[in-house]
Amino acid sequence: MVSPEVPVIQCLGVSKWYGNSRILEDFDLQVTAGEKVAIIGPSGSGKSTILRLLMGLEPYQSGRIAICGNLLPSEKESRSTRRRRPAQAQDAGMVFQHFNLFPHMTAIENVMEAPVRVLKLSSADARRRARDLFEKVELSGRDDAYPRQLSGGEQQRVAIARALAMQPKILLFDEVTSALDPELVGGVLNVLRALAAESGVTMLVVTHEMAFARDVSDRVLFMEKGRIIEQGPPALIFTAPQNERTRSFLSEILRK
């Protein structure tokens, strides 16, 4: 268990690059337990990369990343010690932009898979947990539907239920509405709003939905070129941003 004084997410001086292209440069971030943080900014600013690093899906070259007090090894450390992501990294779960459901499994089988294989739950317990979650994400009655039989919004809600089924302390959301038709966005956002309001889980949300970021977050980060340019409570960021680049970005995106 993490001490209340220790942030559940810590990034200290993190740098990430591909070849000669630097995506993150001396990136610092601390998130406390239960905090809801929205990350906004232009494409290519490093927003999604942060989430992928926190999940251990990509290596980072320098700095320090810890999840719930457990260090994630850098690229050099992984090579030299053959260390993998610690088991405690199950504390974090991620919902992706493009659902990533197994097409050969039903909706409920997609949600049951990790609890059975990783947490060693019985099939009966995993099914009960999945059905409870389907009620939470408004998918009751869709247990036996295959992904191809579901709308994009329904598939994304299955993906949210799948992440919740592992009972993580941290949930990472990567532009979860950007692949959806406009009429399906509201249903997914309503599920996330309810989750933010009712759950003590820590949430880190990369989004281009400004109204959603304003409504659900405790803190908003504006990023550009791999750095946090400005951060603060939504009321400040959206009504009186201090940085000119933040003002310019919000003026442009809110005009659309």
Backbone angles phi, psi at 130, to 5 degrees: -65, -40
- Residue 19, domain member (yes or no): no
Position 54 scores a pLDDT of 95
- Residue 179, domain member (yes or no): yes
Give the CATH number for residue 180: 3.40.50.300
Counting as low any pLDDT under 70, the low residues of the chain are 1-5, 79-90, 256
Distance CA(65)–CA(27), nearest Å, equals 10
Joined tokens for residue 237: 């960021």
Eight-class DSSP state of 3:
-
The strand pairing partners of 72, in sequence order, are: 65
Query: What pTM, to 2 d.p., does this model score?
Result: 0.90
What's the chain's length in residues? Answer: 256
- Residue 61, domain member (yes or no): no
- The residues, any chain, with a CB within 8 Å of residue 77's CB and separated by 6 or more, are 83
Joined tokens for residue 66: 């810890």
Position 2 scores a pLDDT of 47
Position 178 scores a pLDDT of 87
- Residue 120, domain member (yes or no): yes
Position 171 scores a pLDDT of 96
Total domains in the fold of the chain: 1
Distance CA(83)–CA(70), nearest Å, equals 13
User: Judging by beta carbons within 10 Å of its beta carbon (0-12, 13-18, 19+), is residue 194 exposed, middle or buried?
Assistant: middle
> What is the domain range of residue 199?
37-56+84-255
- How does pLDDT run across 168-199, given as a tens digit for each residue? 999 999 999 988 888 889 999 999 999 999 88
- Residue 95, domain member (yes or no): yes
**Cα–Cα distances in angstroms (integers) from residue 177 to residues 79, 97, 192, in the given order:** 36, 7, 11
- Residue 79, domain member (yes or no): no
Position 87 scores a pLDDT of 44
User: Judging by beta carbons within 10 Å of its beta carbon (0-12, 13-18, 19+), is residue 145 exposed, middle or buried?
Assistant: middle
DSSP readout, 227-252?
Answer: EEEEEE-HHHHHHS-SSHHHHHHHHH
- The residues, any chain, with a CB within 8 Å of residue 139's CB and separated by 6 or more, are 107, 154, 157, 158, 161
- The residues, any chain, with a CB within 8 Å of residue 180's CB and separated by 6 or more, are 152, 153, 156, 188
- The residues, any chain, with a CB within 8 Å of residue 5's CB and separated by 6 or more, are none
- Residue 180, domain member (yes or no): yes
- Residue 9, domain member (yes or no): no
Contact between 207 and 173 (Cβ < 8 Å):
yes
